Amino acid sequence: MKLAEYEFEIEHKPGKKHVNADSLSRHIASMRPEEATLTEMSDLTEVGLTREAVFDAQRKDAYCRCKVEEIEAQQELGFVLSTNGLLYKGDKLSEAKLVVPETLVRKVIQRHHDTVFAGHQGIKRTGNLLKLHYYWPNMNRDVETYVKQCESCSKLKVGKNPRRW
């Protein structure tokens, strides 16, 4: 064991006292709309999820465009626009989920399933993680399709009742 060569002490630090959380201790889905800082948004740049990219994609997406038009006509309940123009599902922005346009769905799932921080969780866990902060039509179907097609998962997946030799 390589760690045995070092003298160190492991000390638990409760989450409330861990105010300087880094990317290893904060999952990308933990970001709320009103908490988005410049640093957090720049972390999303690599997958095309800047505020501007999401805004542009939402304006080009037929579903999002329809919801925005209904909000502007005061006909849509259950969706809100943030002060910066992004579309969210929910009655209050503080509890709302970002509406992901169809062109960004794969990138969002990939970011929450494939990355080192996501850990290739299964269909249910990946879906539950995404549902914390995102919404799009047919979300469950898209997550299931993506995870079932994940090459890494299919190679390493063990059945529910593996054979015991």
Q: 40-53: per-residue pLDDT in tens? A: 343 345 455 788 89
Residue 80 inside a domain? The answer is yes
Catalogue the long-range contacts made by 106-112 (C-beta closer than 8 Å, 24 or more residues apart): 106/146, 107/47, 107/48, 107/49, 108/47, 108/49, 108/134, 109/142, 109/143, 109/146, 110/47, 110/146, 111/28, 111/44, 111/47, 111/49, 112/28, 112/29
What is the pLDDT at residue 62?
A: 96
35 inside domain: yes
Distance CA 141, CA 6 (A): 48
Residue 4 lies in a domain: no
Query: Which residues sit opposite 134 in a β-bridge?
Result: 98
**Is 140 within the bounds of a domain?**
yes
Q: What is the CATH number of the domain that holds 109?
A: 1.10.340.70
Quick check: is 92 in a domain? yes
Q: What per-residue confidence (pLDDT) applies to 30?
A: 47
45, part of any domain: yes
Look at the pTM and tell me if it is higher than 0.75.
Answer: no
pLDDT for 6: 81
Q: Can you give the residue range of the structural domain that contains 49?
A: 30-150
Percent helix, strand and coil across the chain, each to the nearest 5: 50, 5, 40
Query: Residue 162's pLDDT is what?
Result: 53
Residue 22 lies in a domain: no
Domain count, the chain: 1
Residue 143 vs residue 3, higher pLDDT: 143
In a domain, 83, yes or no: yes
State the pLDDT at residue 37. Answer: 38
